[in-house]
Chain A
């Protein structure tokens, strides 16, 4: 039997990890116990995120459930779904996801691996001490952002994006060193944000997809029937896992409400302002992420606006 070591940076209780464990069990089933996946969650092997693409390529591990936005240092195209407000709703997101997949497969092959399925994180919003319901509410708000997309986006909206590591966020939020955090609902639950914040506006301004990736040498070492079985399993489970992301968003949001956080969504005017603020970043992404990325965005926008 073959055993793959598969790593994910998320903690055991996270829904991506639950999906991964489910997938591991089913792989064992469909291959009659010939392929086992040993899941290492919570970064217990010292691998934390941005190096997972290369770690799978080099065969340090046989696979990883990784966040694509963390891999853009090696492969800029993988950031396409995270370009702010490029997708406005679930239909947009589904369209871009399916159009991006062939391009992802190309990047994967280039890095000696194979992507099996992709599951997005719930969309990102803003946790804050005071309500954020219109663009003016963002003015001067010291908001913790993670990446260049978020920093440029909220800068364009008049906020003051602040960078700091996740470990500093909670004490900083508690003491008022920052006024808000841009992240998803499950992360708000992970950090018990009801201790520090009163409001969560679900802007859905950014998508952050995870993929499960397997080293190509490990993959090719399997028999043809095993590969076919695993591939069809991945295709069958992907919609279930993607649904679990929505369910996770709903249950995390419900928990936030239960703990006293007021949850809101942007109205039409706010949404239009978000779209406008994001335009320069669409351009910047198309210019900097390579010709494939440019072609993909062009095709997506045409298909979306048809």
Chain B
């Protein structure tokens, strides 16, 4: 595996374009991850508020458990693109680590394309679900009667960001593999 730092590669026209796209995709993923972090903080404060309400005022907020579930869904999917970009989604590296550079690139491309298909199927599935929640005005069957379209839309948004990040990976693997020629974990320290 080449450890050549990105900065020393002279950018060609194509490289420059790919870099701009990658940078845009990263900003998008980062913004979604920021939303995930806010959802995480809200989840914590909601549970804490429920504990306080029950013990001090003998009241239940009522909505805290249900909304916590929606927030967790939002955290998982809105955080996905950024987690992928930082190389923190788990994959089995056994073959990738032992393959030569060409083979490695080919395998990585296949793996990424399969992920594109799976996430595409998830987007398809959640589009239908979200659309139906909207069109039929579906609410939760709990006390809160919460319109389900909103949390489902958040998950859908996260899936789309994740898919964009995967597609950019395909682009980089095909057109500018040098951009990936270092351990992805190091990306975390670069902005």
Contacts and interface: CB of A to CB of B under 8 A. Distances in A.
Nearest to B144: A148
B142 A148 contact: yes
A246 B127 CA distance: 44
A70 to B, nearest CB: 5
A74 interface: yes
A161 B53 CA distance: 12
The interface residues of chain B, by DSSP majority, are classed as: loop
Contact of B136 (A74, A151, A164, A165): A74
B75 to A, nearest CB: 18
A211 B143 CA distance: 22
Contact of A161 (B60, B65, B141): B60
B59 A148 contact: no
A110 B148 CA distance: 20
B54 interface: yes
B115 interface: no
Given A163-B65, A164-B65, A73 B54 contact: no
A50 interface: yes
B139 interface: yes
B48 interface: no
Interface in A153-177: 160-165, 177
Given A142-B58, A163-B62, A72 B141 contact: yes
**Which of B54, B64, B138, B139 has the most chain A CB atoms closer than 10 A to its own CB?**
B54
Given A69-B141, A74-B136, A164-B65, A140 B58 contact: yes
Contacts of B186: none
Q: Which bracket fits the contact residues of B?
A: 10 to 19
A151 B58 contact: no
B52 to A, nearest CB: 13
B4 interface: no
Interface in B95-141: 132, 136, 138-141
Contacts of A50: 140-141
Interface string B138-176: 111111110010000000000000000000000000000
Contacts of A71: 141
A73 B145 contact: yes
Nearest to A50: B141
A304 to B, nearest CB: 27
Contact of A74 (B59, B65, B138, B142): B138
Contacts of B59: 160
B148 to A, nearest CB: 7
Interface string A120-161: 000000000000000000001010000110010000000011
Nearest to B148: A73
B62 A73 contact: no
A22 B57 CA distance: 48
Contacts of B139: 73
Contacts of B132: 54
Interface of B: 54, 58-62, 64-65, 132, 136, 138-145, 148
Given A74-B138, A148-B142, A163-B143, 16 more contacts: A50-B140, A50-B141, A54-B132, A71-B141, A72-B141, A73-B139, A73-B140, A73-B145, A142-B58, A147-B142, A151-B143, A160-B60, A162-B60, A163-B62, A163-B65, A177-B54
23 contacts: A50-B141, A70-B141, A73-B139, A74-B136, A74-B138, A140-B58, A142-B54, A147-B141, A147-B142, A147-B143, A148-B145, A151-B62, A151-B143, A160-B58, A162-B54, A162-B60, A163-B61, A163-B65, A163-B142, A163-B143, A164-B65, A165-B65, A177-B54
Interface of A: 50, 54, 69-74, 140, 142, 147-148, 151, 160-165, 177
